[in-house]
A = this chain, B = another copy of it.
Amino acid sequence: MTLSGRRAGVVTLKDVAAAAGVSVATASQALAGRGRMTDATRERVRRAAESLGYLPNAMARGLRTGRSHALGVHNQSAAESLGTAYFRDFLAGAIEAAHRHDHDLVVLSSDTHRPRTTAPRVDGVVVVDPIANDLRARELMEMPVPVVAGEHVPAHMPPCAVVAVDHATALRTVLDAAATAGASRPLLAAPDENSGWGELLREIVGAWCAERGTTPVLVSTQFGIRSVEHDRSLLTPVLAAHPKVDLVIGASPFAARGALEVLRALGRTPGGDVLVAACADEPALAEHDPAVTAVELPAHALGVACVERLIEILDSDGGAQDALGTVRTIPAPVHLRASTSGTVAAMR
């Protein structure tokens, strides 16, 4: 028996995609309730999955055994991520919720390249920020137990139940505030296609721009690299080549801070002729000059909500199957600060 429980003859996402006549990415998005496609396409993929008996995560493969009353939490680089308030808060919320239900909370050992040596003995898993090229995230999402993703699942990964921050509402609040201040040409620096969060941010900004007959400038960063220098080096040539950009949105605080430095070096005035915002707040952003508008990610509440959702699925009859592709969102406060409140002075 393999870790994933996959055997010859088991229907894969690839089989579903082939039967529906779409790409694997589209099939994945269709089942996850995401992506841009017609309702007919989405329905065709769903029917193909149903008729083939496709069961991602093997959620309902009848492998129900005794409950261990232990829930796993996976993060791409868990030990390193403990250095961030985001994962510490998420974990505290997850532990509190698990213990409230008298479940142990297993902080799974992470390694992006090396497979696990043993299957974790857990009833279900929460994958925090599923990253497509994180081998262990994928391994866990293919296990025969229910999986809840804390944030959206990127294309090419098995679908599961999602609990996510309501980035759409939050980011639109930022975009609308920037538009009120006169901005109309946004640049978004967000993690590449390995991150479902990055994909979603691109979709949101893309849709907002489409409504205004424009397109955003996009810069791809790498999820998990927490370095202002890294983002600065990515932004320098792009901002130099696009002098008409009047709003720079960094997914991370590092990208926003990198943007401030690059814009200044190009002779521009953040909060003056160009606005700046971040999709994830940190205390330092409020201290900047100008103070940087940012979305506050409620990590503790997300940790609680992911574990509550997982237990709800475990406690329901056939709930695992029903939960596939469902998305629950929790609201995120937006802190509008000086970096987006001034009037964009000089359009070039």
Contact = CB atoms under 8 A, between A and B. Distances in A.
A5 B60 CA distance: 13
Interface in A82-140: 82, 88, 92, 95-96, 98-100, 102-111, 114-121, 135-136, 138-139
A315 to B, nearest CB: 14
Interface string A60-80: 111000111110100000110
A65 to B, nearest CB: 9
Contacts of A57: 1-2
B70 A106 contact: yes
Contact of A6 (B4, B100, B117, B138): B4
DSSP class of A's interface residues: helix, strand, loop or mixed?
loop
A142 interface: yes
A218 interface: no
A173 B98 CA distance: 42
Interface string A1-13: 1111110100000
The oligomer's copy count stands at: 2
Interface string A142-156: 100000000000000
A249 B19 CA distance: 59
The range of chain A's interface size is 35 or more
Given A3-B58, A78-B99, A109-B98, A68 B118 contact: yes
Contacts of A95: 78-79, 82, 107
A70 B73 CA distance: 13
B88 A104 contact: no
A117 B104 contact: no
